[in-house]
Amino acid sequence: MAVHGIDLGTTYSCIASVDDVSRPTVHRNQEDTDTTPSVVFFETPDNVVVGQTAKDSAVIEPDLVVSRIKRDMGHEVTRTMHGRPYTPEEISAFVLRKLAEDARTATGITVGDVVITVPAYFGAAERDATRKAGQIAGLNVIDIISEPIAAAITYGVLNPGQDARILVYDLGGGTFDTTVIALVDGDIEVVCTDGDHELGGADWDDRLVEHLAERFRQEHPDVADPLDDKQTEQQLRRDAEELKKTLTTRTKHVVRVMHEGRVAKVEITREEFEGLTRDLLDRTIDITRKTLNTARAKGVDGFDHLVLVGGSAKMPAVTEALTKELGVAPRLQDPDLAVAKGAALYAFEETYRRLLSAGDRGRAEEMAARAGLSDGQRQQIAGRTIKTVASRAFGIKATASNTRREYVAHLVNANDPLPADVTEGFATLDDFQTRVAIEVMEQAGAVASDAIEDNNKIAEGDLKIPPGKPAGFPIEVTFSLDTSGLLHVTAREDESGERLELSVRIGGMSEEEVAESRAALARVQVS
């Protein structure tokens, strides 16, 4: 049976699977490239174009093109195209359908079971939205794993038998994560993680866009601002991305900025570019420093290897800054493809382990034989464990009985080991209460805080209380956070001991809406 790993990126995505000699292999798209731009062009109500053609179309019809949708995952926002509103899950589903169809074309094998990666710092809502995007695309999402874990799996497979502590610095197109991971006897354990899901290579691009526009304004002050014209802006974004890539290998480059029939010839050096974006790089260094301090507090002093992941990690300034800060030369570990390859390896291994656990040894051995695994490799995979941690703190909104101050009581803290199953007792505030509002909160800032404004409400529901009860009537709340980072919350009142399931909705779409969307969008042609 074929299983696939998908790196669903902010700017580029790719898909991989394990071949017949147990190697993770990325499947090239119909345009014959390893990665596909995560850009969607709504050409007509019934035809959607994904990838490079969509990216090119942004210059001509910017109002019909959507990019960077990953940054909206988990938020209840929509983009209206041809009179129909589309959720982030639906737009991401088009990207996933493109990847799946291209892989089927390349291999002749239909893509069904998949593992999709997300930034380590994604919260419960974003992870749940990613799973729903896969469902809308018609895929069976067997798991959601963090991008640094996927990169560590790739590293571990390419360096077998090495016990090591790894610092993964993952600077993608739209997100940044830094994670400390321990490899011991083939097992993988995440020690701690931190990051910023609104910081990535696209922000470096934005700085270049503004710089190019400003240079044009200076040269042609009598012409309208180029950023006020959507077509010119999109062209500047394309120029900026290419300029960033060029300055990775060259020390200077010239860009021609054209707007309203006028031209500005702009030369920019790598040194200028690094100056424009120094604060962005410094933010990643600060987060990396904080992660290492957290690891130290958990008993892990230092690391053996510094692995760079993500296309934007190839910028020379990244290597220079990390070498200066940490005194270790970073390794570029297949930065564009390592995450997809790791997801494919995890998908294969996890499916193999689940088949064995379910007693279906025949199908498990068929998988192993098709991948050319030796008996030793089969035993290693069967026994491998992957341990991860919570990316953020989670709790419920509570009220102090004496002061009536509202605050967030965290049940799960950032970097707690997963899976986490935590139960805490609470009590009613007033006599004769008939209900308790359970509001599930997630850490919003870089540091956990019990202040309401420093947390986001991601779910809510009511727990009924038996009539006639005095203040202080006890209730219990249980948080179960699984290894995928998906959260389930239940509550119960203690008098009868009856367990009451708290029906919560995490993310922008309900399961019913996901099913309806899957049926509706299946009629849309994706190319």
pLDDT value at residue 158: 65
148-150-151-152 Cα dihedral, nearest 10 degrees: 90
User: Bigger pLDDT: 511 or 276?
Assistant: 276
- In the predicted structure, residue 506 carries a pLDDT above the cut 70: no
- In the predicted structure, residue 153 carries a pLDDT above the cut 90: no
**Both ends of the chain: CA-CA distance in Å?**
26
CATH topology of domain 394-496: Substrate Binding Domain Of DNAk; Chain A, domain 1 (2.60.34)
pLDDT in tens, 100-147: 999 999 999 999 999 999 998 888 888 889 999 999 999 999 999 999
- In the predicted structure, residue 503 carries a pLDDT above the cut 70: no
Domain boundaries, the chain: 3-199+286-388, 201-278, 394-496
pLDDT value at residue 228: 93
- Six-digit token string for 34: 């390893």
Q: Span 489-503, mean pLDDT?
A: 73
Query: What is the pTM for the complete model shown?
Result: 0.89
CATH fit for domain 3-199+286-388, picks 1.10.10.10, 3.40.50.300, 3.10.20.90, 3.30.420.40: 3.30.420.40
- In the predicted structure, residue 470 carries a pLDDT above the cut 80: yes
Q: What is the DSSP string of 452-470?
A: GGGEEEEEEEEEE--TTPP
pLDDT in tens, 281-339: 999 999 999 999 999 999 998 888 899 999 899 999 999 999 999 998 898 878 899 99
Q: Do you find a cis peptide bond into 419, omega within 30 degrees of 0?
A: yes
pLDDT in tens, 357-408: 888 888 888 888 888 888 888 888 888 888 889 888 999 999 998 888 999 9
User: Chain-wide mean pLDDT for the chain?
Assistant: 90
Distance CA 93, CA 219 (A): 43
Q: Span 233-252, mean pLDDT?
A: 93
- Which residue is it, tokens 């959607």? 48
pLDDT value at residue 379: 85
H helix intervals, 261-390: 270-276, 278-297, 316-326, 338-357, 361-370, 375-383
pLDDT value at residue 467: 87
- In the predicted structure, residue 507 carries a pLDDT above the cut 70: no
Work out the pLDDT band at 161, boundaries 50, 70, 90: low
pLDDT value at residue 387: 87
The SS3 assignment for 494 reads coil
pLDDT in tens, 431-462: 998 888 889 999 987 788 999 999 988 888 88
- In the predicted structure, residue 502 carries a pLDDT above the cut 60: no
Closest to 430 in 3D by CA, of 451, 406, 408, 404 = 404
Give the CB-side neighbour count of residue 390, counting CA atoms within 13 A.
26
CATH topology of domain 201-278: Actin; Chain A, domain 4 (3.90.640)
